[in-house]
Amino acid sequence: MKKFLNNIDTLLDESLQGFAKAHSDIIQLHTHPTVVTRNTATSTNKVTLVSGGGSGHEPLHTGFVGKGMLDAACPGQVFTSPTPDQMITAVELVENGGGVLFIVKNYAGDVMNFEIASEMIACPFETILVDDDVSLPKTHSTGRRGVAGTLIVEKIVGAAAERGMNLADCKVLGDKVNQMTASMGVALNCCTVPALGKPTFELANDEMEMGVGIHGERGHETLKLQPATKIVKQIAQAIDEDLKPKKGQKALLHINGLGATPLMELHLIYDLAAQYWENKGIEICRSLVGNYTTSLDMVGCSITLTLLDEEMMQMWDAPVNTASLRKGC
């Protein structure tokens, strides 16, 4: 294993220190417990958005703290849920009279710890549980995982909260975005968790893993490596069967790199996926391509489609100023 680090045990702390220095105009780092908050002041009674999860998915979630998105993020250790005291501290630091909206990816540890924290805060709260990964069936014992669609929820609901939407309506909007979003990932090579020192699973040079998670989990099927057109078609068909978009429907297409895939390849995937849905009469009117919800150094990508209505498009287009997503500010 070759990685830029001094000590595995201090890697996250040192990384966060660098992140805070690089983006001191947007965020502030708090320690003991670790929380990242936005620097810009918010209006009284604005709904507060708090999210978080294991590190290793950067820029999710810390990179999306700022005006128009999250008010605070709680980073856990690599692929490990943050602790309830981080979430409680985040609420104490940023809640401003409008209540708290937790945005939680559907993983057992995240769900459990956010639930514990919610029982220990005094202000009103709601929770959006993101479960956009269609590689798992809806009947899966723990439900579907939250993956790259989490960013879409955070951006749209973040804009709504910034504009003064109340807690109940932000919750309704976030649930709608989640229901209109579907994702699936594929890996050509797995990631290496620093503490483990080796890939979490192995693939031969002529193999790929379909339906991977973002924590180095295997997918639902190991296949022979195929041309990009066939890979995209298989993923797009699964998403299409889940969302069932109608002809003329507007949509956002997000191609997400899992950490070690060049933009040259990600844009190829975007072109193929856009062609797939455009040939079905779907209007791809919004796009996002790049590394946004990663899995350390995994070679792979995910495809996310979000069906849009006018409200969702307005919120997607609204100004945002974070370390990793900036528009109109």
Residues 284-299 pLDDT 10s? 999 999 999 999 999 9
Nearest residue to 58 (alpha-carbon basis) of 5, 12, 24: 12
Query: What is the average pLDDT score of the chain?
Result: 97
Q: Hey, what domains does the chain have and what are their CATH numbers? A: 11-180 (3.40.50.10440), 181-307 (3.30.1180.20)
For residues 291 and 325, the answer to whether their CB atoms sit within 8 Å is no
Question: Annotated catalytic residue: which of 30, 61, 140, 215?
Answer: 215
- Give the model's confidence band at 245: pLDDT under 50 very low, under 70 low, under 90 confident, else very high: very high
Distance, in Å, from the CA atom of 259 to the CA atom of 187, rounded to the nearest integer, reads 10
23 part of the active site: no
Distance, in Å, from the CA atom of 235 to the CA atom of 183, rounded to the nearest integer, reads 8
Looking at residue 10, its pLDDT comes to 97
- pLDDT by residue (tens digit) across 261-272? 999 999 999 999
Strand order across the 48-55 sheet: 27-30, 35-38, 72-78, 48-55, 100-105, 125-130
The whole-number average pLDDT for the span 191-199 is 94
Distance, in Å, from the CA atom of 307 to the CA atom of 11, rounded to the nearest integer, reads 38
Looking at residue 138, its pLDDT comes to 85
- pLDDT by residue (tens digit) across 196-216? 999 999 999 999 999 999 999
Question: Annotated catalytic residue: which of 57, 61, 254, 267?
Answer: 57
Looking at residue 60, its pLDDT comes to 98
- pLDDT by residue (tens digit) across 133-181? 999 988 888 899 999 999 999 999 999 999 999 999 999 999 999 999 9
Rounded to two decimals, the pTM is 0.97
215 part of the active site: yes
- pLDDT by residue (tens digit) across 51-76? 999 999 999 999 999 999 999 999 99
